Amino acid sequence: MNWQDKVVLVTGGTGSFGKQFVRTMLDEYHPKKIIIFSRDELKQHEMRLAGFDHPSLRYFIGDIRDRDRLYRAMQGVDVVVHAAALKQVPACEYNPMEAIKTNIMGTSNVVEAALDAGVQKVLALSTDKAVNPVNLYGATKLAAEKLVVQSNAYAGGRATRYACVRYGNVVGSRGSVVPVFLRQRESGKLTITDDRMTRFWLSLEEGVHFVISCIEQMEGGEVFVPKIPSMKVIDLAKAIAPEAEIEVIGIRPGEKLHEVLISEDEARTTVELDEMFVVQPAQALWFGYSWQDKGQPLPDGFRYASDNNTVWLDEEGIKAYIAPFEKLYAEGKL
């Protein structure tokens, strides 16, 4: 795939993922144009001031709830990376219709605008919370995944293809527990909800490179799942503040002890490759089943969860991941 000929649009382009994606694109892939589509003028202004002022960048004010604005923004676009979402679990629980309007209806607007504008590839970002969801955020992302995957049926003979990436917690992203623990460290006490809790773990850079790789490989209908390590939240707390008291405050509404990236039912249509799993569509009425020949089928009852993972981060491994955020926090930038 020759990125230098491509026009790329990123929804939620001023977020943690969006900024890292744009930086990586500019540094390594040099696309013809990158359109940053987001609703917050202040964040766009701050992004410009932070050095994102390359001649190939365009800043579009717009909300994915506004289908007409998406139509306008996608004219001449080749690739859409759909990263815009309401993602804070408590906020989604308290404002359920807002989560539905953005995460489900907004995704529908992205899908339809891309189809009508003749976009070649749309890759949407999902989350481990979409598997067997227990909170509204996870439920909306599950619905968004289904919308994206099944929209390949609408594409028919057109060029547009849709796929998803699903991965776990991103170290230090906006709303992450890492900045919270760094702030709590100053008081000498960290709070965790349950000392048994585990989570999947990856860095922003790893997430961005995985997304780019999936855009290059996608055929339409896939959900791509990277092979990433797990960690215990209590080990994260100890890595950040080894001397601090740890208070267990009880699991919050809508929170799981362990996250799942591939359920037992999905495993039946999933193939395993060296670096990732590919969940193929349950009903391949169009395309997306050629991965059968590229990977290995999974055994019956397979479940890819943060508590049964074969790859774990110990405290030293965790410290390597959080080192950049320790530096940012010390500089007052986090």
List, by residue number, the catalytic residues.
129
DSSP state of 256: -
Say how far apart CA 266 and CA 180 lie, in whole Å: 34
Please list, in sequence order, all residues whose beta carbon lies within 8 angstroms of the beta carbon of residue 51, skipping any fewer than 6 positions away.
Answer: none
Say how far apart CA 85 and CA 137 lie, in whole Å: 9
- CB 124 within 8 Å of CB 82: yes
If residue 141 lies in a helix (H) or strand (E), which one and from where to where?
helix 136-150
Say how far apart CA 219 and CA 210 lie, in whole Å: 16
Say how far apart CA 163 and CA 149 lie, in whole Å: 6
Tracing tokens 């009880």 back to the chain, one arrives at: 250
